[in-house]
Structure 1
Amino acid sequence: MSDAAILCVDDEASILKVLKEQLKRHFGNQYVYEVAQSAEEAWIVIDELEQEGIKILTIVSDWLMPNIRGDEFLAEVHRRFPDVVTVMLTGQADEAAIERARQNANLFACIYKPWTEEELYQVVCTALGE
């Protein structure tokens, strides 16, 4: 089992399923792939991975989610885990939200829905320094 993880956060289960399948297709067993349907669930996953000694390398998070926006969630991730590379996935974020994420979450990239598998792969590959 890998000691490095990619976490995807989106309130739509179908999107999480596709993200996980696409990432796994390109990176195989190189990473652990985790998903969460909310920021609250993501923090539980993050804590569990940390306890297992698995380092989260990147988080791909939706912007429009219940209770907290993706830019706010990623800013908190960056505050607690500055080495985690943050990527925002959105169909609705405005430029101000993207700019806030760049400034407060050290946003690496923004992927717009609908994305292509190649685009996802290129962004995550570059984020991971591969």
Structure 2
Amino acid sequence: MEKPIILCVDDEKVILDSLKIQLKNAFQNNYSYETAESVDEAIEIIDELQGDEIPILVIVSDWLMPGTKGDEFLIKVHEKYPKIVKIMLTGQADDEAIDRAKQKANLYECIAKPWNCEKLINIIKSGLTNHG
């Protein structure tokens, strides 16, 4: 059986690589870790995994990305897959975008960049416990 997924979405590869390392160190082989460098790529991954019935438990998404902003992306995801825990990781999001994501995408948490690894892991653990 496939492991559940934690998906990270950011247009900066170095951030995705860093997130993946931190998640693997914290959660070991309990999950699979997917990354996407754009909202379009993320939606493709989500649809493919859901089609294969592989659960996505958490999405950690940047806010400021080319094309679609993180709050819009998470709202789209929430409309189709409301059970996924949604976390925004950003240095740029305005308060309106965060409020919109909380109201329309059930945003679990918004974390500022540069992030504290321990805080991020604890928020993900909390999200998995409370939404799992």
TM-score range for the pair, normalised by the shorter chain length: over 0.9
Aligned to 1:81: 81
What is the TM-score with the length of structure 1 in the denominator?
Answer: 0.96
AA paired with 1:105?
Answer: A
CA distance in structure 2 between the aligned counterparts of 1:88 and 1:2, rounded to whole angstroms = 25
CA distance in structure 2 between the aligned counterparts of 1:101 and 1:94, rounded to whole angstroms = 11
Structure 2, unmatched stretches of 5+, are: none
Question: Quick check: which one's strand share is greater?
Answer: 1
CA distance in structure 2 between the aligned counterparts of 1:98 and 1:34, rounded to whole angstroms = 24
What is the TM-score with the length of structure 2 in the denominator?
Answer: 0.94
Query: Aligned-pair distance for 1:51?
Result: 2.9
Q: Which runs of 4+ in 1 moved over 2 A?
A: none
**Corresponding residue pairs, total:** 130
Aligned to 1:91: 91
In 2, are the aligned partners of 1:3 and 1:53 still within 8 Å (CA)? no
Answer with 16-25 or 45-54: which moved more: 45-54
Correspondence list, 1:1-130, <5 A: 2-129=2-129
Query: Aligned-pair distance for 1:50?
Result: 1.7
AA paired with 2:24?
Answer: K
CA distance in structure 2 between the aligned counterparts of 1:2 and 1:25, rounded to whole angstroms = 19
Secondary structure (helix, strand or coil) at the match of 2:93 reads coil
